[in-house]
Amino acid sequence: MTATDELVARVAAKARTTTTTLPAPARPEEVTAAEEALGFPLPPLLAALYREVANGGYGPDYQLLPLVGPGRTATGEYRSERRASAAAETPYWPAGVLPILDWGCAMYAAVDCLDEAATVLLFEPNAMTDDGAAAWFVDAGSLAEWLETWLTGTAWYSEDADDHEDLPEPTPWPSAASRIRG
């Protein structure tokens, strides 16, 4: 069993114990169709989560968005944010950054699908002034790291985060400006 397989199994186990009804996993052809619609492949770990655990509906707080299907999906939110960003006076959404979780108040957890590590970013539009890059923060260096913080309850958003002074908080994403322009 690879480290990815083990992580997916641990995520699946927690998803089953913390979610009353998990959606069915996305079928491989649905993941392929979503990648075609997005214009980029999903990182292998993210694709495995959608194919092997469930089509969203589990994870931190507000839970992962479904990749495909009716209603709000990660694919639809990405396309919507890219269109809105392109039409905005201040562009703010970089290509290849897939929103996977809506934190509320227009904030997202998003995966940089163009980065081999699949960095997890926090989009916080309230931080944006006349620079769309100011809204982007690194939440975790990789999707695997982000999932570990959820599994172990050591993330900045955890209920008891205030009890732990050593929890890292999101930091500005240094590539935001170049990726938004690119």
Write down the pLDDT at residue 32: 98
Write down the pLDDT at residue 161: 46
User: Would 161 be classed as within a structural domain?
Assistant: no
Based on the structure, what is the number of domains in the chain?
Answer: 1
Q: What is the CATH number of the domain that holds 65?
A: 3.40.1580.10
Question: How far is it, in rounded angstroms, from Cα 129 to Cα 12?
Answer: 39
Cα–Cα–Cα angle for 30, 110, 25, rounded to 5 degrees:
30
Range of the structural domain that residue 175 is part of: 3-153+166-181
- Going residue by residue through the chain, which has 182 residues, state the pLDDT in tens, using 9 for 90 and above: 899 999 999 999 999 999 889 999 999 999 999 999 999 999 999 999 999 999 999 998 889 999 999 999 999 999 999 999 999 999 999 999 999 999 999 999 999 999 999 999 999 999 888 889 999 999 999 999 999 999 998 877 765 545 556 656 789 999 999 999 87
Write down the pLDDT at residue 85: 95
User: Would 160 be classed as within a structural domain?
Assistant: no
User: Would 100 be classed as within a structural domain?
Assistant: yes
Beta strands in the chain (DSSP E): 97-104, 107-112, 120-123, 136-140, 171-172
Using DSSP bridges, classify how beta strands 171-172 and 97-104 pair: parallel, antiparallel or unpaired: unpaired
User: Would 73 be classed as within a structural domain?
Assistant: yes
Question: How far is it, in rounded angstroms, from Cα 66 to Cα 89?
Answer: 30
- Model pTM score: 0.93
User: Would 28 be classed as within a structural domain?
Assistant: yes
User: Would 132 be classed as within a structural domain?
Assistant: yes
User: Would 159 be classed as within a structural domain?
Assistant: no
What strands lie across the sheet with 136-140, from one edge to the other? Answer: 97-104, 107-112, 120-123, 136-140, 171-172
